[in-house]
Structure 1
Amino acid sequence: MKKKPNVTRLLASRAARMHRKAWAAVFAALALTSLLLGSFGLALASAGLGHARVERYAAADLVVTGDQSTRFTAKPWGGDPETATAGLTERVRVPRAALTAVRQVSGVRTAVADEVFRVGVRGTPATGRPWPAARLAPYVLRDGGGPEHAGEVVVGGGTARVGDRITVRASGTDATYRVTGIAEGPRTAVYFTSAEARRLAGDPGSVAAIGVTADPGTSTSALHARVRHALDAAGLRSVGQRADGDGAGLRVLTGHGRGGAEFLRAAPARAGMLALLASVAAIVVLVALLVVSSTIVQALRQRSHELGLLRAVGATPRQLRGAVGREVGRVAAVAALVGAVGSIPAFLGLRALLDARGALPPGLELPFPPWLLAVPLVTAGLTVLAARLAALIACARTAKARPAEALRDAAPGRARQITGLVLLFLGASSAGTATLQRGETAAAAAGAAAVVLVIGCALLGPWIAEGAMRVLGAPMRRFGGAAGQLAAANCAAAAGRWGAAITPVILVTAFVLVQLSAGTTMTRAADAQARDAARADFAVTAAGGLPGGTLERVRRAPGVAAATAVTRSTVVLARRETGSPRLDRLPVLGVTPGGLARTLDPGVRDGDIDDLRPGTVAVGRDQARALDAGTGSTVTVRFGDGVEARLRVVATYDRELALGGFLFSHEQLLRHTTAPTRILVAADGTTPAVLRAAAAPGAKVAAAPASGPLVPEDQAPGEVVTVAAVGAIGGFTVIAVLSTLCLITVGRRPELALLRLAGAGRGQLRRMLGLEAAASAVTGLAVGGVVALIPLLAFGAAVARAVPHVAAVHAGLLVLVVAATTAAGTFPPARRALRGRYPSQGR
């Protein structure tokens, strides 16, 4: 008995062959979607596996450190308590008593106290450590022997030779040491005796970390449990750090975790990168879904009469849905696999770009194990699923229609119009919300507003096209001659088709403008504030720190009008967002207040900056508004080492984009950071030579201290990821513009051929198509510019207090790309009709 053919499979295979060019556009969009989703999925997975590199403690089985994180617990509205955690960028020290407790643990072979402090050798910054800690790497001697007396050191290769005497500056004090050995490892390392390193570190009651090695036959996991138990039994806590009034516990690190004791900024940077990639990936997904769905809808819209005819001659809804789903599934499966393969080099390129731009902190590794290759396959599967779903939605009306009504063209429904208007209202409301927020919250609200407004415009495409034609139709008819009459009539008669053409133009315009202008506006405003704040003529610095009393000596030097000691650091601010706990890391400055307006003017609004001393703080205007703080009130912050402090506000100031959200007393901030200090000098005739003589031998004096604005720690990777996202999604949406216009033009070939038969000349049709393309580009650019302007105005008012700024080069390039893309999507597909041939639809 002959097997009955599968109608669904037959329809799908025949349609795939008949509409190769239409599906080529869909293939390109789906391949790019899979590539973008796969590359960002790989980036998220790699960042999730990221860890600090293990160097100095590679030979240690365990490392005991302070708790390098701070926590904040709050109860969201109507939910259970939640805890937010943030990494600390200043070292949390370990009590020296922990060394004795660890050495008494069974299975411990050695327990070595480590110190890490800044020194300067011959004007070059270096790192000081005790020589016994070198074995934790292990760094062995290449020449000479280890230090045995306080006046002896071992240095890295290339610094000096055995027997040389070198001057080392530590904590601002110079001392001469004899070099007894040359060690492997970093060139910038200087190794002292244990006692000398303890003295130079300045905190004899604690150590930076403890490296532990196990006896032969003792497993790392067993030793970890014993050391953990011994520390808990002894009640030992991190030095200085407080969380809710209690000292935080010590940490025992193994494996890759040991690197966290070396590179303190790696863990916070990894967390910031995860959040950044997640937010960008969310935008990528939304844009991809919008573009893919619109491309598939347009491809099926060109065949609406064909599908309606199949329904009219008896095809069941299930057969139509199955045929369309199978047809789209075939195209999507191949395209998704191609994109998945391409996502691997795209991810590697993104990682190489981050490395080349120095956007990753030292020591942060982003691994790429072979099993991560499964991520692009997962995103490819999701791409196929999204494509099939979009196809089923697109053909739902035709499949459900009664056979007698299947060939009718349906006008855009009232529900679509209402939904679009509601989305425009929500987008405008989100932009209004951004004006009441600050920082990341304002940026997120502005970005959400842009996405919602674009989706609303996509739904309202036919009505936007009608409105645009009311504006552009008259000049087209008046100045365009017969071609203008034809173009205006076509656009007015096919508003749905023209609306589909301008939607991707709106998308690419709005997305590119929002992403580029937001960063440019912030950078421009911060640079302007930095220029206004910088009043000093010179900056005095020294490797290894400035000696005590340098500030007073510089102030007494002839020709010095004012001098200010400045130190950079970070603080963590705990707050609630819709009831949920949140910890924000902010860059801050510690300054000496005397004569600050002459060296680094913050633009004081209220209060007196001269009252700044330990226990007080000056707060930026926007930060004060967010905290509901003013002069005389108190704010609570956590310093970079986790110590919490309640401080009285003595002043508020304007230039917080350049100077950070808080200004602390230099003396107080210096207790919680190891960052170097520099002295800014306002001069009335002094010279660099006079300043060097007043400061200390080896001090460096910069004639023009170009003090740039303080930037968040995640700004550098944020800029790289944003540029990559703008380039990738900008190119993606350009392909979507090209694909949509090609599909529309291919569907118009019979119309163009009919116009040729009716007597229209090739030149008239070319001018008609050119006017239509120009109208699409102008309308898309105008509407996209308005869509971008709404959230950008809110963002500028909330964060930068400035008008949005777009570089002229970026704006010109955007206009050029849109114009070239609309032309490329209009003229080449129409060549056959313009040559006077009889095209077959879809061929």
Structure 2
Amino acid sequence: MLRTALRNVLAHKGRLMMTVLAVMLGVAFVAGTLVFTSTIQEAYNKSSEKGFDHVDVAIQPIKRDADDEKLKPVDNLDQRTLDKAAALPGTKSVIGIVSGFTGIADKKGSLVGDGWGTTGANYYAGQDGKGTDPRYPMKQGQPPRNANEIAIDAKTADRTGYKVGDTVPVSVDGPVREQKVSGVFTTDDGSVQAGGSLVLFDNTTAQKLLADPGEYTEIQLSAAAGTSQAKLQSEAEKILPPESKAVTGQKLADDQSKMIEAQTSGMQTAMLAFAGISLFVGIFIIANTFTMLVAQRTKELALMRAVGATRRQVTRSVLIEAFSVGSVASVAGLAAGVGIAVGLRSLLGSVGGGEMPDGPLVVSPGTVVTTLVVGVLVTVLAAWLPARRAARIPPVAAMGSVHAPATTRSLVLRNTLGAILAGGGAALVVGAISGDDSKMMGLGAALLLIGVFVLTPLLSRPMIAAAAPVLKLFKVSGKLARLNAVRTPRRTAATASALMIGLTLITGMTVIAGGVQHAIDKMATGSIKADYAISMANFSTLSPDVEKRLDAMDEVEVSSPFRTSPALVEGDKETLTGVNGSTISELTSLEFTEGSWKGVSEGNKAIVDTDMADKHGWKVGSKVDVAYEDGKRGALTVTGVYEGNQLIKGIQMDTKTLDPHMSKVADLQIMVKTTDGASDAMKQTLEKGLGNNPVVTVQDKQDISDGIAQVISILLNILYGLLAMAVIVAVLGVVNTLAMSVFERSQEIGMLRAIGLDRPGIKRMVRLESLVISLFGGVLGIGLGVFFGWSAGELIAGAGLDTYELVLPWGRLALFLALAALVGVLAALWPARRAAKMDMLAAIKAE
């Protein structure tokens, strides 16, 4: 039986090639994902370990959790702590660290490292200021020595073309600083390796810009010979100021590794999910292939049963074939996956403008085993049902080719099960909307998809019959194509389902994205009257000097900052937003259910959104107890209740009331209304007035909407690219089904040729059959995708995006349907040509 199974694999090379290719594609995606993420993790881990080579113990302020009721920010470390650390037994040297956001512009005025990390830090030249910083060895020039000098990393220097002596624009919190490049240094910083930038200031300037004079964000200790990290940590814990901790260098490296792993795990999960979809789609092709191969070898298997082979042996022989195919496909997929990983690594560097840290390609034993097991397991599982079906055929009936099709009972059972699954899934989806339960919706969507798949053979007849009027235009070829498409409903359904799954996901995500974009457009135009919103490129805070500079411009009519501060409101931790109470009503267009902005500028007054008002039972005139960031308490009087949204929500009050309680006054954004309204010329004027700052963005309402749309478009394009794998596998499925269908119908095609159907007619028949099957899958996929998009959108609306509404992208839906038709046309090229070239006499004699 083993020899027979292996012989059958070799005897059907051409027919099994499609199955090998389908499995290989799915497996390649799995292997490529695992190799790519392992390589990234290993490269960054090695890079981060180098970065901690000089650190044995680090003293750090403790970061507060979001739910911590303490409002005042944790204090930085001071010079006294650094001096105490330097005097500890076992300390060889200490370095005071200061770091924070710092943007640098290239020669075109664009932000360098945007999207990867734009960081500034201090060059610590020892306590006397005359030493060297071991973190940043200088490649050219010298370290920064005064407030007018900076040093830049070598990769930024290469990308921008800056040299020692050049003057470059730099910004920390808004205002532009013209700095002279005193030196170029090398670094193992992972962010820089990935495409970010690092700017070094002298120690005093860095403290002034990125912290406060005399303060450090971290202190790093190097142990003397004979002193372990644990011993030095124990000594450092004796001098810790309040709300700080001592951490070993090994712990820092381990935490960095865990952070890198966490950052890459999300990408790995998403990519593996799409690989799973490809494999899931591939299951239909594998099952189809083995079903048809078994059907073609019915007499052969029956003869084996007649000469003594048991059912188990017949089943085992088919599974051995599947195991052989899966093994070959998995090995090929692993090799292709390594190639995919190499391509993704290069793509990451070219798209991001940076490059990966140096390191080898990591193909771990776990990746090899996982890839091979997944490929073989998927293939064997997909072939198991056809194998069982083959073994259950009575030998006498099989040898006479009179084995019966599926019984009425089995069809009723299948259709009943499908109806229950589909109905139950739809009910769960609808119930999840009212219950705001995403997990229930996910379960319902899965059940509905499975239910529709089970019902697909039943649905194929009426839906394909609906195409009869169009097919009649093609006369005999069209009629034969329709009859062939419904002749074996299960095979047609399995082929169409492969395409259905891919289009369901694509359509659903497109519908959701369209609704979200419409909601953002509506929110931006509905709640903002300002012409422009000014903010930092990295969404950090702006210096109040930016607002002063804007107000000094003749083109600015009114403006208002938006600055936030944590507070305890009626015992709950909330965020207070400070605005210019005198001008804010001219810059926003909020829908008030009660009261208005009037009176907010008078002090100790505020407006609140409806959610907070309903939660606490507030109304106009209510007194709100507030504990501010500085620990002082006060009471706010509610002057208005408004409908909040994702752009403006919570408690809004005047900056004159809020500012005295803030530890550091800074703006999240500034809204501006200009004398001549929004225009390209006005935008350029504002940008010029702010010094053409690389880190400050000036956006009108359309820019805000387009910025969000760009993020959505990038995500959609990534999704389309990943799901293209599933569509490719679906194309292979259609080709596979048609090719084997042509082989099965060799006698029939020979007879059609003999009675007068010419070769173009045969080609047309096969192409129309393929087109009908593909469009059937396309219509099902688009219909399910729209339903899932609607239901997920309702969940999004219930989660707080009130302006969300269903928007059907008719153009894209038509494009998806056209794509399904194109799949059918392309998939039929080879089978149609093969059918037309068939010798009629040889075909008639074929068995």
TM-score (norm 1): 0.74
Percent of pairs identical after alignment? 17
- What's 2:99 paired with? 116
Q: CA RMSD in A?
A: 5.4
1:499 is aligned to 2:480? no
- What's 2:192 paired with? none
- What's 2:806 paired with? 803
| Contact 1:237–1:250 (Cα < 8 Å) also in 2 | no
CA distance in 2, matches of 1:276, 1:840: 55
Cα 1:592–1:631, aligned 2, differ >3 Å: closer, same or farther?
Answer: farther
Q: Alpha-carbon deviation of 1:417? A: 2.4
What whole-Å deviation, never above 9, does each CA across 1:71-103 have from its counterpart, x for those lacking one? 889xxxxxxxxxxxxxxxx99955766535543
What whole-Å deviation, never above 9, does each CA across 1:473-504 have from its counterpart, x for those lacking one? 4x267555334443444444432333233222
1:513 is aligned to 2:507? yes
1:19 is aligned to 2:12? yes
CA distance in 2, matches of 1:118, 1:691: 26
Cα 1:22–1:116, aligned 2, differ >3 Å: closer, same or farther?
Answer: same
1:753 is aligned to 2:763? no
* Farther off after superposition, 335-344 or 768-777: 768-777
Cα 1:770–1:280, aligned 2, differ >3 Å: closer, same or farther?
Answer: same
CA distance in 1, matches of 2:93, 2:637: 47
Equivalent position amino acid for 2:312 in 1: R
* Farther off after superposition, 713-722 or 509-518: 713-722
- What's 2:765 paired with? 768
- What's 2:462 paired with? 467
What whole-Å deviation, never above 9, does each CA across 1:321-377 have from its counterpart, x for those lacking one? 221111111111111111111011212333443444439xx9996976534365144
1:226 is aligned to 2:231? yes
Q: Alpha-carbon deviation of 1:463? A: 0.4
1:387 to 379, 393, 397: 379
What whole-Å deviation, never above 9, does each CA across 1:409-456 have from its counterpart, x for those lacking one? 224544332332233234324532553577xx75x7766655543332
CA distance in 2, matches of 1:840, 1:469: 29
- What's 1:103 paired with? 86
Q: Alpha-carbon deviation of 1:17? A: 3.4
- What's 1:189 paired with? 199
Equivalent position amino acid for 2:340 in 1: A
1:725 is aligned to 2:716? no
1:399 to 357, 369, 391: 391
- What's 2:193 paired with? none
- What's 1:242 paired with? none
2:262 to 271, 276, 294: 271
SS of match in other structure, 1:565: strand
- What's 1:263 paired with? none
- What's 2:273 paired with? 282
| Contact 2:22–2:285 (Cα < 8 Å) also in 1 | no
CA distance in 2, matches of 1:832, 1:167: 67
What whole-Å deviation, never above 9, does each CA across 1:11-42 have from its counterpart, x for those lacking one? 21332233333212211111112112212233
CA distance in 1, matches of 2:341, 2:565: 32
- What's 1:814 paired with? 816
Cα 1:37–1:697, aligned 2, differ >3 Å: closer, same or farther?
Answer: closer
- What's 2:740 paired with? 743
Cα 1:519–1:404, aligned 2, differ >3 Å: closer, same or farther?
Answer: same
SS of match in other structure, 1:564: strand
Q: Alpha-carbon deviation of 1:135? A: 0.6
SS of match in other structure, 1:65: strand
Equivalent position amino acid for 1:792 in 2: G
| Contact 1:567–1:676 (Cα < 8 Å) also in 2 | yes
1:135 is aligned to 2:127? no
CA distance in 1, matches of 2:684, 2:829: 72
SS of match in other structure, 2:315: helix
- What's 2:23 paired with? 30
Cα 1:268–1:256, aligned 2, differ >3 Å: closer, same or farther?
Answer: closer
| Contact 1:65–1:250 (Cα < 8 Å) also in 2 | yes
- What's 1:207 paired with? 216
What whole-Å deviation, never above 9, does each CA across 1:779-834 have from its counterpart, x for those lacking one? 222111111111111122332622244473x5455334422332343453244544
- What's 1:781 paired with? 778
SS of match in other structure, 1:189: strand
Cα 1:50–1:421, aligned 2, differ >3 Å: closer, same or farther?
Answer: farther
Cα 1:451–1:414, aligned 2, differ >3 Å: closer, same or farther?
Answer: same
- What's 2:35 paired with? 42
CA distance in 1, matches of 2:356, 2:831: 50
Cα 1:230–1:173, aligned 2, differ >3 Å: closer, same or farther?
Answer: farther
Equivalent position amino acid for 2:457 in 1: P
CA distance in 2, matches of 1:671, 1:49: 42
- What's 1:334 paired with? 328
* Farther off after superposition, 790-799 or 287-296: 287-296
- What's 2:670 paired with? 679
CA distance in 2, matches of 1:827, 1:273: 41
CA distance in 2, matches of 1:634, 1:778: 63
1:421 is aligned to 2:413? no
CA distance in 2, matches of 1:128, 1:831: 67
What is the 5 A alignment of 1:157-196? Answer: 182=183, 184=185, 189-194=199-204
CA distance in 1, matches of 2:566, 2:284: 45
What is the 5 A alignment of 1:269-668? Answer: 271=262, 273-304=264-295, 305-306=298-299, 307-308=301-302, 310-311=304-305, 314-358=308-352, 369-372=361-364, 374-403=366-395, 407-411=403-407, 412-432=410-430, 435-436=433-434, 442=438, 450-473=445-468, 475=469, 479-533=473-527, 535-538=529-532, 548=544, 551=547, 554-555=550-551, 560-566=556-562, 594-599=582-587, 601=589, 653=643, 655-656=645-646, 659=647
What whole-Å deviation, never above 9, does each CA across 1:497-534 have from its counterpart, x for those lacking one? 33233222322322322244434543454345335555
SS of match in other structure, 1:315: coil
SS of match in other structure, 1:435: helix
Cα 1:321–1:166, aligned 2, differ >3 Å: closer, same or farther?
Answer: closer
SS of match in other structure, 2:352: coil
CA distance in 2, matches of 1:770, 1:166: 64
* Farther off after superposition, 792-801 or 287-296: 287-296
CA distance in 2, matches of 1:529, 1:276: 30
TM-score (norm 2): 0.73
Cα 1:192–1:383, aligned 2, differ >3 Å: closer, same or farther?
Answer: same
CA distance in 2, matches of 1:651, 1:214: 59
Question: Runs of 5+ in structure 2 lacking a partner?
Answer: 112-117, 127-131, 188-196, 568-573, 630-634, 798-803
CA distance in 2, matches of 1:427, 1:634: 48
| Contact 2:512–2:792 (Cα < 8 Å) also in 1 | yes
CA distance in 1, matches of 2:254, 2:359: 16
Number of equivalenced pairs: 763
Question: Runs of 5+ in structure 1 lacking a partner?
Answer: 1-7, 74-89, 240-248, 261-265, 572-585, 641-645
Equivalent position amino acid for 1:537 in 2: D
CA distance in 1, matches of 2:289, 2:263: 39
Q: Hey, which of these two has a bigger chunk of helix by percent?
A: 2
- What's 2:191 paired with? none
Cα 1:476–1:839, aligned 2, differ >3 Å: closer, same or farther?
Answer: same
Cα 1:400–1:61, aligned 2, differ >3 Å: closer, same or farther?
Answer: same
SS of match in other structure, 1:132: coil
1:825 to 808, 824, 827: 827
